[in-house]
């Protein structure tokens, strides 16, 4: 008999997990059910594979994305059939947009059981295909090879979401010996002619460079500044980068504005736009009377390093700077303004000033602060201590807290700041419990404006100056008020609720003294 569970047997599940571990997958963010039990059983037998329980699948997928963004290597998720995967899809969408390598292990019914159309049977393949690469395992013998194929697919380059559908009987039956191969995580070298062509384009006409993806390293930003100094071209950063090095030590370039009328005005003069690790800039949405594409009609778009081909944009920018014989060394660097608390009520601007002053050196700032986060990006991140920023790349909110969890576990020596809008945070707030359980060093800063502020702004843009009671009800987070500090304590995370800049400064100082997670609810007046 092959279809009975036998502890300590070399099962398909063991081949899967051991192969993934030797391919570089060290952590599994899991929310399993009955169809994943053979994998749960072997996780205890594979030393080196860290296992983290997420209380909602969106926490698991967002944490895997955060881990991947910080390490360049995939984390695994273990999710239960179609409904489990469906719960994790929004953050897999964000991971796809960030080109993060993520490997999903999705259990399915045993092959003989699928014909019964039991209650949890669903079209898992259709869900998986919507976010990237997928494969359904058909026999236990495939488990090692499929595991390695999924890691290789996830790594690309470019990175992507790779999903394995794993029938329960393929997990529990005797399986193959694990494979011991470690696929490369390296990006591709861009074509040699691209920097030369870009140099020609940048020297003639009114040119600009749009940085994104792998251009946003410290080296990439410095090379872009050298090119800008040599040509007087303008430089921008894509609006929602997956990962960007930031701080007072680096050249600062503005992000392409979110709203199309502003973005179009910014780029209006261009005759050439060189794309370095970024795609052509387009509007997030279509608005009446607004264009979808931001570059002026007729402007030449030139791809220096195509992110979808997995090209290394930092390398391309450095070669470009060399090609232009751009002088080394850029300055001047900025300083962080001191924060002087004076008992003032908190506004987004004051909150961002305080955050700039209290961000520790080498922190990771996960920015899902939505409208407050735009202020942070535009004016404050560039004055803070050196840090790495992760952003809500795919626009599917509920990414911030899970991303912060994954980033903290990936980089235990770095402090993570989850800069979090209150409305978005509520989609995946169970991540707080996993942070507490894993003692993740995360300071969660909630921008408690108690509304969906961006949607109120959208209403105003649509000409609704006095929203009716229903429109108000759909954008206000009051009646009842949500008490974040109480929620955090309920998940085992120490918390402070603050309403003035003095209380905020005090809370930041107390947070910096402790290990593990803590939460500061900053109640905003605007
Ligand atoms: C998964 C998902 N659901 C809904 C939305 C639509 N949406 C965009 S922003 C937003 C709420 C923003 O409010 P909040 O997070 O509190 O930030 P604020 O605008 O107040 O700064 C919503 C519901 C979305 N982007 N993604």
Nearest CA to ligand 1 atom 26: 396
pLDDT score for 330: 61
Q: How far apart are the first and last CA of the chain?
A: 67
pLDDT digits (tens, 9 = 90+) for 2-19: 444 555 799 999 999 999
pLDDT level of residue 293 (50, 70, 90 thresholds): very high
Beta strands in 279-433 (DSSP E): 300-305, 363-368, 387-391, 416-421
Q: How far is Cα 169 from Cα 166, in angstroms, rounded to an integer?
A: 8
Cα–ligand 1 centroid distance for 61 (angstroms) = 19
* R_g over Cα of the chain: 24
Whether residue 101 contacts residue 154, with contact meaning beta carbons closer than 8 Å, is answered with: yes
Q: Is the pLDDT of residue 290 over 60?
A: yes
pLDDT score for 148: 98
Cα–ligand 1 centroid distance for 497 (angstroms) = 22
Whether residue 151 contacts residue 87, with contact meaning beta carbons closer than 8 Å, is answered with: no
Task: Characterize 378-401 residue by residue with b for buried, 16 or more Cβ atoms within 10 angstroms of its Cβ, and e for exposed.
Answer: eebbbbbbbbbbbbbbbebbbbbb
Nearest to 188 by CA among 142, 153, 155, 154: 155
| CA-to-CA separations, 45 to 5, 11, 14, 23, 304, in angstroms, rounded | 15, 11, 8, 17, 47
Mutate to test the pocket of ligand 1, among 454, 458, 477, 525 (most ligand atoms within 8 A of CB): 454
pLDDT digits (tens, 9 = 90+) for 445-460: 999 999 999 999 999 9
Nearest CA to ligand 1 atom 13: 452
pLDDT digits (tens, 9 = 90+) for 364-423: 999 999 999 999 999 999 999 999 999 999 999 999 999 999 999 999 999 999 999 999
Whether 395 is in the pocket of ligand 1, judged by its Cβ within 6 Å, is: yes
pLDDT score for 59: 99
| CA-to-CA separations, 491 to 408, 429, 449, 498, 518, in angstroms, rounded | 18, 9, 22, 19, 11
- The sheet carrying 243-246 orders its strands as 243-246, 387-391, 363-368, 416-421, 442-448, 518-523, 495-498
Question: In terms of residues, how long is the chain?
Answer: 526
pLDDT score for 333: 79
Q: What is the pTM of this model?
A: 0.97
pLDDT score for 3: 46
pLDDT digits (tens, 9 = 90+) for 152-202: 999 999 999 999 999 999 999 999 999 999 999 999 999 889 999 999 999
Average pLDDT of the residues of the chain: 96
Nearest to 452 by CA among 430, 483, 473: 473
Atom of ligand 1 nearest to the CA of 370: 21
| CA-to-CA separations, 72 to 20, 92, 160, 272, in angstroms, rounded | 15, 16, 11, 32
300 contact partners, CB below 8 Å, separation of at least 6: 201, 271, 272, 273
pLDDT digits (tens, 9 = 90+) for 201-251: 999 879 999 999 999 999 999 999 999 999 989 999 999 999 999 999 999
Q: Is the pLDDT of residue 479 over 80?
A: yes
Whether 357 is in the pocket of ligand 1, judged by its Cβ within 6 Å, is: no
Cα–ligand 1 centroid distance for 452 (angstroms) = 6
Cα–ligand 1 centroid distance for 34 (angstroms) = 34
Q: How far is Cα 247 from Cα 263, in angstroms, rounded to an integer?
A: 24
Nearest CA to ligand 1 atom 12: 452
Nearest to 304 by CA among 232, 208, 225: 208
Whether 451 is in the pocket of ligand 1, judged by its Cβ within 6 Å, is: yes
pLDDT digits (tens, 9 = 90+) for 81-136: 999 999 999 999 999 999 999 999 999 999 999 999 999 999 999 999 999 999 99
Mutate to test the pocket of ligand 1, among 403, 421, 456 (most ligand atoms within 8 A of CB): 421
Cα–ligand 1 centroid distance for 187 (angstroms) = 33
Task: Identify the DSSP state of 476.
Answer: B
pLDDT score for 331: 65
Cα–ligand 1 centroid distance for 473 (angstroms) = 14
Cα–ligand 1 centroid distance for 398 (angstroms) = 9
Q: How far is Cα 44 from Cα 30, in angstroms, rounded to an integer?
A: 13
State the CB neighbour count (10 A cutoff) for residue 146.
Answer: 23
pLDDT score for 287: 85
Cα–ligand 1 centroid distance for 106 (angstroms) = 28
Whether 371 is in the pocket of ligand 1, judged by its Cβ within 6 Å, is: yes
Whether 456 is in the pocket of ligand 1, judged by its Cβ within 6 Å, is: no
Q: Please, how many CA atoms are within 13 Å of residue 374, restricted to the half-sphere of its CB?
A: 9
Whether 90 is in the pocket of ligand 1, judged by its Cβ within 6 Å, is: yes
Cα–ligand 1 centroid distance for 30 (angstroms) = 26
The secondary structure of 207-251, three-state, reads EEEEECHHHCCHHHHHHHHHHHHHHCCEEEECCCCCEEEECCCCC
SS3 call for 342 = coil
State the CB neighbour count (10 A cutoff) for residue 424.
Answer: 22
pLDDT score for 498: 98
Q: What are phi and psi of 255, to 5 degrees?
A: -80, 150
pLDDT level of residue 328 (50, 70, 90 thresholds): confident
Whether 93 is in the pocket of ligand 1, judged by its Cβ within 6 Å, is: no
* Over residues 316-327, mean pLDDT: 94
Cα–ligand 1 centroid distance for 395 (angstroms) = 9
With vertex at residue 501, the alpha carbon angle to CA 496 and CA 507, rounded to the nearest 5 degrees, is 30
Nearest to 202 by CA among 237, 169, 227: 227
pLDDT score for 332: 63
Nearest CA to ligand 1 atom 11: 452
Atom of ligand 1 nearest to the CA of 423: 16
In order, the DSSP letters of 440-475 are --EEEEEEE-SB-HHHHHHHHHTT-SS--HHHHHTT
Whether residue 480 contacts residue 327, with contact meaning beta carbons closer than 8 Å, is answered with: no
Q: Is the pLDDT of residue 49 over 70?
A: yes
């Amino acid at each position: 008999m092959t279809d009975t569970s036998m502890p300590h047997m070399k099962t398909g599940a063991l081949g899967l997990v051991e192969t993934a571990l030797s391919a570089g997958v060290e952590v599994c963010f899991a929310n399993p059910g009955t169809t994943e039990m053979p994998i749960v059983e072997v996780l205890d037998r594979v030393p080196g594979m860290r296992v983290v329980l997420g209380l909602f699948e969106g926490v698991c997928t967002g944490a895997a994305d955060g881990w991947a963004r910080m390490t360049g290597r995939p984390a695994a998720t273990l999710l239960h059939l179609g409904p489990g995967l469906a719960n994790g899809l929004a953050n897999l969408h964000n991971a796809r947009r960030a080109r993060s390598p993520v490997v999903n292990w999705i259990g399915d019914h045993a092959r003989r059981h699928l014909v019964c159309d039991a209650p949890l049977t669903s079209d898992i393949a259709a869900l998986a295909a919507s976010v990237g690469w997928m494969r359904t395992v058909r026999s236990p013998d495939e488990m090692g090879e499929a595991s390695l194929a999924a890691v290789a697919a996830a790594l690309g380059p470019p990175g992507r979401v790779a999903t394995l559908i794993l029938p329960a009987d393929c997990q529990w039956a005797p399986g193959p010996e694990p494979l011991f191969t470690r696929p490369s995580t390296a990006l591709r070298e861009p074509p040699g002619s691209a920097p030369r062509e870009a140099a020609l384009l940048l020297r003639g006409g009114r040119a600009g460079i749009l940085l994104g993806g792998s251009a946003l390293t410290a080296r990439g930003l410095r090379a872009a500044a050298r090119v800008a100094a040599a040509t007087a071209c303008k430089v921008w950063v894509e609006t929602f980068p997956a990962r960007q090095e930031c701080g007072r030590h680096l050249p600062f370039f503005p992000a392409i504005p979110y709203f199309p009328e502003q973005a179009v005005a910014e780029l209006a003069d261009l005759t050439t736009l060189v794309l370095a690790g970024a795609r052509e800039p387009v509007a997030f949405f279509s608005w009446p009377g607004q264009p979808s594409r931001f570059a002026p009609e007729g402007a030449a778009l030139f791809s220096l390093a195509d992110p979808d081909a997995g090209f290394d944009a930092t390398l391309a920018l450095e070669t470009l700077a060399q090609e232009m014989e751009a002088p080394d060394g850029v300055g001047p660097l900025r300083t962080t303004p001191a924060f002087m608390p004076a008992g003032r009520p908190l506004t987004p601007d004051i909150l961002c000033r305080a955050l700039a002053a209290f961000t520790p050196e080498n922190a990771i700032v996960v920015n899902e602060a939505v409208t407050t986060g735009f202020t942070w990006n535009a004016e404050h991140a560039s004055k803070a201590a050196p840090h790495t920023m992760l952003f809500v790349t795919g626009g599917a909110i509920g990414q911030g807290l899970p991303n912060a969890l994954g980033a903290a576990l990936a980089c235990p020596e770095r402090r993570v700041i989850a800069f979090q809008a209150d409305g978005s945070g509520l989609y995946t707030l169970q991540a707080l419990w996993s942070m507490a359980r894993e003692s993740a060093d995360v300071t969660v800063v909630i921008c408690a404006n108690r509304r969906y502020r961006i949607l109120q702004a959208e209403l105003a843009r649509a000409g609704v100056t006095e929203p009716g009671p229903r429109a108000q009800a759909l954008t206000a987070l009051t009646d009842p008020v949500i008490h974040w500090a109480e929620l955090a304590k309920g998940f085992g995370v120490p918390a402070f609720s603050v309403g003035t800049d003095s209380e905020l400064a005090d809370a930041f100082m107390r947070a910096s003294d402790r290990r593990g997670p803590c939460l500061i609810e900053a109640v905003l007046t605007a």
